[in-house]
Structure 1
């Protein structure tokens, strides 16, 4: 695999950083959920106003899609990027099948987050702070892992596509920012965020 002879150090560092941030957000939201279960009328630390709050998201059915609080998925799931990132920094070299499966896992996380973004903005009508932290790290993490998997051939695509993915890696911060802008525009159009905050 000549494409992987150079260790993806930047990707490894990002996976560790994003994993730690994502895990902390999920853990904090889990603690808030436990607090809410103990005292349903309590004001949560992440409840700032009618628009920016956690309680509405945690109480909605969308907050427990699989029968348990969504943050538990994050508490378990964010361990994987941390482990993969640390392993890469330690010199591990993963096979293509591993990168394909890891990309599949990140794709599930990305798809689930996109669905939750839509539910939060268009159905529940709130912006959960800890959820938004999760969005911020999940989106670029998916892009980074997907582009890396394509460029090393873990996802079997034609060579021009692989070269394109290799070139797009350098534009990853811009891709993430554009995604954040799209979310912000949707939130503004639907919820009038600026009008609520000022």
Structure 2
């Protein structure tokens, strides 16, 4: 799953990076992901939040998702990774989820638009974060391993609830727009 999710995130980050550089080269460029007033990459890409650390956010995605894909391939191949590598993946996944929550808030309540490619990144980051934390926890102390096994069995329920929070927030925030489509 890390390979598939990481590859989807990598593809979305790449698309965002390409469009960001096209906007930088030509400010009148309109990205293909500008679908409506609410679903619009262009209006999100031109904000300060799109460069949270002083450079385009998609560069973070290119690096982070590349690491996720690489580690996912190694795990799928049966390579036994050291605990510190899994811990690093868990920390990165957790920080990615925190960043996604900040970006989602900024997107919905400050920028007033949702970037479709960003939605892909958000969608794959949540399970990567959850699964990488649980994977790392399974290498911890016996008590932590036991709790990780219990949490692992409920991972799809947790993930579904997490997604629902995002979906409901977007539905409520942009309800005036969504209802015009009905």
d(CA) in 1 for partners of 2:139, 2:14: 33
Question: Is 1:189 matched with 2:172?
Answer: yes
1:1-198 alignment, distance < 5 Å: 14-153=1-140, 159=143, 161-192=144-175, 194-198=178-182
Counterpart contact for 1:25–1:130, Cα < 8 Å: yes
In the TM superposition, residue 83 of structure 1 has moved relative to its aligned partner by 0.7
Distance in 2 (alpha carbons) for counterparts of 1:90 and 1:150: 20
Q: Structure 1-normalised TM-score?
A: 0.86
Mapped to 2, the partners of 1:116 and 1:86 lie a distance apart of: 28
What is residue 8 of structure 1 aligned with on the other side?
Answer: none
2:34 counterpart SS class: coil
Distance 1:72 1:196 in 2: 35
Give, in angstroms, the shift of residue 177 of structure 1: 1.6
Runs of at least 5 residues in structure 1 that lack an aligned partner in the other structure: 1-13
Q: Superposition RMSD on alpha carbons, in Å?
A: 1.5
TM-score by length of 2: 0.93
Residues 103 and 146, structure 1, Cα contact 8 Å, conserved in 2: yes
Q: For 2:32 and 2:156, how far apart are their aligned partners in 1?
A: 30
Q: Number of matched residues?
A: 181
Deviates more, 1:15-24 or 1:188-197: 188-197
Shift of 1:196: 4.6
- Looking at structure 2, the residues matched to 77 and 100 of structure 1 have their Cα atoms a distance apart, in angstroms, of 15
Change (3 A) 1:196 1:72: farther
Gaps of 5+ in 2: none
The 1-side partners of 2:86 and 2:181 are apart by 42
